[in-house]
Structure 1
Amino acid sequence: MIDLLQTYWPHILAVVSTLLGTVAAVHVAMTKRDVRSAIAWVGVIILSPIVGAVIYGLVGINRVRRANFMARRNLRRSRLRQALAPYAIEPGEVEARFGPRLEQLRRLGDKVAGRALTSGNRLEPLLTGDAAYAAMQQAIDQAEHGILMETYIFDRDSAGIAMADRLIAAAARGVEVRVLVDAVGARYSTPSILSYLKEGGVRVAAFNGRVITGLRMPYANLRTHRKILVVDGALAFMGGMNVREGFCGPDASRDTHFRVTGPVVADLFAVAAEDWTFETGEVLKGDAWQIRLSAGEAGTVPFVRAVASGPDINLEVNQRVLMGAFSVAERSIRIMSPYFLPDNVFLSALATAARRGVQVEIIVPSRNNLAIVSRAMTAQFEAILKNDCRIFRANGPFDHSKLLVVDGRWAYVGSSNLDSRSLRLNFEIDLEVYDDDFAGFIERRIAQSRHGAEEVTLDALRARPFAIRLLERVLWLGSPYL
């Protein structure tokens, strides 16, 4: 056998390479929806025999297969729809209040998002880490039944320990507590906060992997980027804020989080509970996990919908909702994002809106926490500016907020960045909000960041050294995986 291998190993290697490459290339052709992605992967497979096919098998298959789990989820979702029926929007309500264009967007959301647009919700903005963590800790301290938390980053620093101690204390007094942290995000601090929580009696899990032994390799490139905290089935927190001390103090990084009450809490809980069940197999049921809806509070916003997206049956849901919003915009589209690296389809939708007279303004940080991403973003700016959009670099501390508003009437807030990772690879959670007052607040929040910002111009971009511009374009080529 050894003699045979020594004699024919080139032939055996050629056969193995051909078989692996053929299988991988066929899989690419049959499953990839984007032709550029398909061509790129086929190129990797052909130019790197065996290695290319192995790399594709590890990180190129970007769909989580959850068939049996999804079937059980659909059954639970039917029960959820029944519970939310009293808060559902009557036909014609959106059109009567906001006009036919937003009625078209409502119809799109019904089809794409698969969750009800509900009334009787309240959203309270939390504009700093100090404010957000204090509100979350107070809610945890007052919990009586169950606490479910899902987040991307939960650092083992002063902010993380303070939050963890509250969760440990809640578990000690008999509250059911579950904490799900992304396996990649859990590695942002060493040792991980998960061991600290587990030793304190809290049930924890790492999404899509094990912090010590490694990632679940078939889906190693897929992450939960959601930030959800649900307390007693009545109160929720969501938005863009991870748990880390960098958001605390007078000179801290900025972000925007939200305290949520009303029927949309049920959807936020359902999303986090589905992820917990997928990772652990435990179905959260019983009195501790009952939804205790409270609607009709003072200051409620008219209509809110939870929009969950991710590389499963919710693939590109957030992008489809946003593309729909751009198509119905009449006056303005204002975007604030720390990482603005969408694909050409997304940019074409913005350009089309701008060229029919819609004011399109994009605010990004002047100082980014990820220098590589900042360089890659800049590589796209010239094409964006050529299409009548405006770009501003906001000064001051790094702002991690993800905010978008259309015509001062419709807002989109949550965890989604506007890059390929958030729009295709990550599990995200956002809220679409139909409300003049709330959308007006988001516009003012964006305007505050734009005040004193430096507007990006074509002349300034072109005046930079060629070597810098070339570096940015090279980094831009890897933007889908940044």
Structure 2
Amino acid sequence: MLLVAASIHWGHVLITGLGILVSLIATMHVLLHKKETRAAIGWIGLIWLSPILGAIVYVLLGINRIERKARALRRDRPSVHKLDPEGYTDALLIERLGQDRAHLATLARLGWAATGRRLLGGNRVRLLDGGDETYPAMIREIDRAERSITLLTYIFRNDEAGIPVAEALSRARDRGVEIRILIDGLGSVHEGAPIVEHLRSLGLTVALFIPTLRPDWMRYANLRNHRKVMIIDGHLGFTGGMNILDDFLSRPHEQRGVHARDTHFEICGPVVTTLQQSFADDWAFSTEEILDGELWFPRDHPCEGDTIARIIVDGPDLQDNPLSAVLFGALAVARNSVSIVTPYFIPDPPLSAALISAAQRGVDVEILVPQKNNHAVVQWAGIPLLEPLLEAGCRVLLLEPPFDHSKLMVVDDAWSFFGSANWDPRSLVLNFELNVECYDPDLAAEINRFLEDRRRHSCELTLDSLRRRSLPLKLRDNLARLFSPYL
């Protein structure tokens, strides 16, 4: 009996010791990797209040494997880095913007600190409205290409929009143009209309960014390259929020019942070199081929403009969050007006606080979101976050159908921001994204004129209507909000 009791005693000691050791290891991981204090305290509490089980839950749910996987993959692949040419100084920027907008120079300094990229002047930027403008412009420039074409997109579908682009790329290849096409692994099979094999059958060089065999219902577990970039001969680029699919055309939706709006931008000038740098880095990551030399990076740019610009690239492989930093900085320096257009609006607490602070300082803050989203759960999760913004004086405009996929921001009628990133955790934390910030009152005025049409086809959401929603709807929306980090 004594032997049995002793063995039981030592068994308890071993289990207790193992529990303490596991809890200590898990606690050290939390302290080293959880930067948010409340999250760290919550996980440590769970780990010690539920020994072993708490540590298992933390390992399964608390460790961001998406970030860890992205960084590990980047470490194992070649990277392309080129120093930007000497950029704009504060004095030159203020000279372009005027003394009444001199405060934006502080935002420019923040962008440099967040990205390590200088502002580049001499760019020309043109807004393109929808697929009816964007895809013909792309095809026209593909047909003019003489040396090289690079294309990165999240979705490239085998449909009325994708096939003409593919045929234009094939014609360019027949002329001897070097072409590289990179499509996100998940986006390549979007909605069952893959175009990858068709592109390869045309003799085009195509790669997938992190190929995946997971079915569509596992989409939220994947790393996504959400960037959209096309560069022609290294000096003319396209970027923005638009994938290559016929949802954005005005014709086929009448038969299919699908139609969406979006915006894209045509850019010419030195900043295109940095767009090419970003593509080359993603291409090297996916294929280990290094794109370099005059073919991809010509020394001279044939056009000049007045827009001062810089790209902001972000992704889970970066320790910091440059996109969030720039958004937060833009809200902090705004003095007069902020206009935001986004299809998915789930800002984190710091960005919500920045929006509230701007409105309370007297800045005219307006947020334009779709009246009906193409992802219902995303819309539900964002609704509870609107109430404190409306209380602070922000205006929320609900855009009438068709669904608007645009991603735009204008501050003080001089600073513009556009690209692939949405105002949600997936874009700002988990996706690989690319945006462009532009310092140019003329471009801001063009975007504002464009937004006037959006405003005319919208209705304003009031605080009273939000509060008068039924209890079941409030419960539904707040339940969806709990899943917002994964939407």
TM-score, structure 1 length as denominator? 0.87
Letter in 2 for 1:437: D
Contact 1:301 1:438 in 2 (8 A): no
Corresponding position: 1:233 with 2:234: yes
Question: What code does the residue aligned with 1:112 have?
Answer: A
Specify the alignment match of 1:244 in structure 2: 245
Q: Residue 255 of structure 1 corresponds to which residue in structure 2?
A: 262
Q: What is the aligned partner in structure 1 of residue 172 from structure 2?
A: 170
Paired residue for 1:53, among 39, 56, 59? 59
CA distance in 1, matches of 2:232, 2:186: 25
How far has the Cα of 1:40 moved from its partner? 6.5
Distance 2:247 2:46 in 1: 38
Letter in 2 for 1:151: T
Say which SS state the counterpart of residue 339 (structure 1) adopts: coil
Paired with 1:20 and 1:186, the residues of 2 have a C-alpha distance of: 41
Q: Deviations over 1:421-463 (max 9, x none)?
A: 1111111111111111111112222232121421111211111
Q: Determine if contact 1:309/1:429 at 8 Å carries over to the other structure.
A: yes
Separation in structure 2 between the aligned mates of residue 36 and residue 48 of structure 1, nearest angstrom:
17
Q: 1:368: how far off?
A: 1.1
SS in 1 for 2:417: strand
- Residue in 2 aligned with 1:180? 182
SS of 1:303 mapped into structure 2: strand
User: Is 1:464 aligned to residue 478 of structure 2?
Assistant: no
Distance of 1:378 and 1:49 partners within structure 2: 33
Q: Does 1:280 align with 2:281?
A: no
Deviates more, 1:176-185 or 1:118-127: 176-185
Provide the secondary structure at the position in 1 that maps to 2:192.
Answer: coil
Do the aligned residues in 1 keep the contact of 2:395 with 2:461 (CA within 8 Å)? yes
Give the CA deviation at 1:340: 0.8
Change in 2 beyond 3 A, CA 1:103/1:372: same
Write the mapping of 1:15-94 to structure 2, written as runs, cut at 5 A.
23=25, 26-38=28-40, 50=56, 53-56=59-62, 59=65, 61-62=67-68, 64-65=71-72, 73=80, 76-78=81-83, 81=84, 84-85=85-86, 88-94=87-93
Secondary structure of 1:312 counterpart: coil
**Native 8 Å contact 1:382 1:461 kept in 2:** yes
In the superposition, the TM-score normalised over structure 2's length comes to: 0.86
Q: 2-side partners of 1:238 and 1:390: how far apart?
A: 28
Equivalence for 1:265: 272
Tell whether the 8 Å contact from 2:233 to 2:296 is kept in structure 1 after alignment: yes
Greater CA deviation, 310-319 or 337-346? 310-319
Q: Secondary structure at the match of 1:120?
A: strand
**Equivalent residue for 2:379?**
374
Structure 2 vs 1, CA of residues 67 and 467 (structure 1 numbering), >3 Å: closer, same or farther? closer
Matched-pair contact (CA < 8 Å) for 1:128–1:256: yes
SS of match in other structure, 1:162: helix
CA distance in 1, matches of 2:18, 2:271: 52
Distance in 1, matches of 2:192 and 2:378, equals 24
State the alpha-carbon separation in 2 of the partners of residues 220 and 176 from structure 1: 34
Aligned mates of 1:468, 1:425 — CA distance in 2 = 29
2:369 to 364, 369, 374: 364
Give me the whole-angstrom Cα distance separating, in 1, the residues matched to 2:27 and 2:208.
32
1:285 Cα deviation after fit: 2.2
Q: How many angstroms apart in 2 are the aligned matches of 1:174 and 1:136?
A: 18
Following superposition, the deviation at residue 36 of structure 1 comes to 4.7
Structure 1, 21-30 or 471-480: larger mean CA deviation: 21-30
Is the partner of 2:172 in helix, strand or coil?
Answer: helix
Matched residue count: 463
Residues 359-408 of structure 1 show CA distances to partners (whole Å, capped at 9, x for unaligned) of 11101011211111111111211121111111110113111111111111
Residues 185, 32 of structure 1: alpha-carbon distance in 2 compared, 3 angstrom cutoff: farther
The alignment partner of 1:210 has SS state of coil
CA shift in 2, pair 1:11/1:53, >3 Å:
farther
Task: Find the aligned partners of 1:449 and 1:282 in 2 and give their Cα distance.
Answer: 43
Q: Distance in 2 between matches of 1:133 and 1:278?
A: 27
1:474 aligns with 2:476: no
The two structures, once aligned, show a CA RMSD in angstroms of 3.1
Structure 1 residue 294: deviation in Å? 1.9
Name which of structure 1's ranges 10-19 and 129-138 shifts more when overlaid on structure 2.
Answer: 10-19
* CA deviation after TM superposition for structure 1 residue 92, in Å: 0.8
Matched, 1:342 2:347: yes
1:429-440 matches, cutoff 5 A: 429-440=434-445
Structure 2 unpaired stretches of 5+: 1-10, 254-258
1:353 CA displacement: 1.0
Unaligned runs of 5+ in 1: 1-8
Secondary structure class of the residue paired with 1:432: strand
- Does residue 224 (structure 1) correspond to residue 225 (structure 2)? The answer is yes
**CA-to-aligned-CA distance 1:72-109 (integer Å, 9 cap, x gap):** 53xx323xx2xx33xx3244112234333111111111
Distance 1:43 1:168, change over 3 A: farther
- In the aligned structure 1, how far is the partner of 2:449 from the partner of 2:19? 58
Q: What corresponds to 1:3 in structure 2? A: none
Give the Cα separation in 2 of the matches to 1:293 and 1:371: 47
User: Are the counterparts in 1 of residues 397 and 459 from structure 2 also a CA contact under 8 Å?
Assistant: yes
Q: Where does 1:95-244 land on structure 2 (aligned, <5 Å)? A: 95-98=94-97, 99=99, 100-190=102-192, 192-207=194-209, 209-212=210-213, 220-244=221-245
Looking at structure 1, the residues matched to 477 and 350 of structure 2 have their Cα atoms a distance apart, in angstroms, of 21
Bigger mean CA deviation after superposition, 404-413 or 165-174: 165-174
Deviation at 1:17, TM superposition (A): 8.7
Answering whether residue 317 of structure 2 is matched by residue 312 of structure 1, we say: yes
Provide the secondary structure at the position in 1 that maps to 2:261. coil
Residues 215-263 of structure 1: per-residue CA shift (max 9 Å, x gap): 9x9x954321110001110111000001111001156311110111000
How far residue 314 of structure 1 moved from its aligned partner, in angstroms, is 6.4
Once residues 57 and 13 of structure 1 are traced to their aligned partners in structure 2, the CA distance between those partners, rounded to angstroms, is 24
Q: Equivalent residue for 2:256?
A: none
Aligned to 1:322: 327
Which has the larger Rg? 2
Distance 1:366 1:11, change over 3 A: farther
2:132, 2:19 → 1: CA distance? 55
Aligned equivalents of 1:93 and 1:122: distance in 2?
17
SS at match of 1:233: coil
Given that 1:21 and 1:50 are in contact with CA atoms closer than 8 Å, whether structure 2 keeps it comes out as no
Give the fraction of aligned pairs with identical amino acids, expressed as a percent. 39
Q: Judge conservation of contact 1:186–1:211 (CA < 8 Å) in 2.
A: no
Structure 1 pair 223/37, CA: closer, same or farther in 2 (3 Å)?
A: farther
